[in-house]
């Protein structure tokens, strides 16, 4: 059994990561810490390139992209209106 890390330990590891794999590991740790099904970290750089990681299955990720759900996803739309992390429960 993998020992549960405290949020401070997770955030410290996140701060030190220098790779997408490290970000993925931190995302999985946050999911476990808060006992939620899924978590997604998505960002757009200054050139407009998009990156992300999360805990959804590969099958769902492929469907999401192939169906172009990104264009109609209300969470994504809400996130484009904010700079800081978004609590999905607060989106209209």
- Give me the domains of the chain, ranges plus CATH numbers: 7-83 (3.30.450.80)
Q: What is the pLDDT of residues 4-57, one digit of tens each?
A: 678 899 999 889 989 889 989 999 999 999 899 999 887 777 787 878 889 999
Q: Which of 29, 91, 56, 18 is nearest to 42 (CA)?
A: 56
User: Is the per-residue pLDDT at 2 higher than 70?
Assistant: no
pLDDT at 46: 78
- Can you give the pTM of this predicted structure? 0.70
Q: Which of 42, 12, 52 is nearest to 29 (CA)?
A: 12
pLDDT at 24: 92
pLDDT at 57: 94
pLDDT at 1: 44
Q: What is the pLDDT of residues 60-92, one digit of tens each?
A: 999 999 999 988 988 888 777 777 777 777 776
* DSSP-derived 3-state class of residue 65: helix
**In contact, 33 and 26? CB cutoff 8 Å:** no
User: Residues with Cβ < 8 Å from 32, sequence gap 6 or more?
Assistant: 4
């Amino acid at each position: 059994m993998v020992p549960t890390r405290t949020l401070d330990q997770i955030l410290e590891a996140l701060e030190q990561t220098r790779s997408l794999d490290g970000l993925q590991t931190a995302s999985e740790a946050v999911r476990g810490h808060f006992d939620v099904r899924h978590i997604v970290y998505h960002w757009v750089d200054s050139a407009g390139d998009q990156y992300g990681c999360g805990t959804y299955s590969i099958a769902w990720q492929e469907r999401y992209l192939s169906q172009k759900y990104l264009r109609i996803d209300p969470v994504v739309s809400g996130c484009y209106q904010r700079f800081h992390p978004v609590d999905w429960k607060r989106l209209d």
